[in-house]
């Protein structure tokens, strides 16, 4: 699953509409580009008090600072290709999803992607089916985890 944890000042993403808009763009990236079930994508907005964020040893920065931690499990970049171009393309997809919600709003921002071993992942106690498999396509269609032959 892609898990996005967005650490932000309390004034950024302060309403449901701004959270929904960014979440929708993130979900669209994974469902259209990689064919993943929408329910795989989890976005968590974590408001940070100003005195809890220090950048360069300073508690106040010129612009609000947003830090994003992304964890990929369902599909790791290295599973697609270990070529630099694929890593670059992944970052470009993330940049495009963030642009209207973060960059265009003038925030300072940073993100990184971690990739977790897929064999250490379960959804509702089920081992998810292989990427692009027939069983995963059923998960896409129903937008929920279903028992399948290899789920144990």
In order of their start, the domains of the chain are 3-121 (3.30.429.10)
Cα separation, 74 vs 147, in Å, equals 17
* Residues facing residue 8 across a β-bridge: 47
Cα separation, 91 vs 86, in Å, equals 9
Task: Give mean pLDDT, residues 78-101.
Answer: 91
Instruction: Give phi and psi for 70, each to the nearest 5.
Output: -115, 130
Q: How far is CA 23 from CA 81, 126, 133, in A?
A: 26, 25, 25
Q: What percentage of the chain has pLDDT greater than the value 90?
A: 80
Q: Measured in whole angstroms, how far is the alpha carbon of residue 7 from the centre of its chain?
A: 13
The string of pLDDT tens digits covering residues 24-53 is 999 999 999 999 999 999 999 999 998 899
> Does pTM surpass 0.75?
yes
């Amino acid at each position: 699953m892609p898990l996005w944890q967005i650490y932000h000042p309390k004034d950024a993403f302060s309403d449901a509409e701004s959270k929904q808009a960014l979440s929708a763009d993130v979900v669209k990236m994974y469902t259209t580009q990689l064919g993943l079930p929408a329910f795989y994508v989890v976005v968590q907005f974590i408001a940070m008090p100003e005195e809890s964020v220090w950048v360069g040893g300073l508690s106040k920065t010129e612009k609000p600072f947003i830090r994003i931690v992304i964890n990929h499990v369902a599909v790791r970049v290295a599973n697609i290709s270990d070529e630099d171009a694929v890593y670059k393309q992944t970052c470009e997809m993330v940049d495009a999803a963030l642009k209207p919600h973060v960059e265009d709003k003038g925030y300072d921002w940073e993100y990184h992607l971690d990739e977790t071993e897929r064999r250490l992942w379960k959804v509702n106690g089920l081992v998810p089916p292989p990427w692009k498999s027939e069983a995963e396509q059923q998960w896409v269609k129903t937008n929920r985890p279903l028992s399948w032959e290899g789920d144990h």
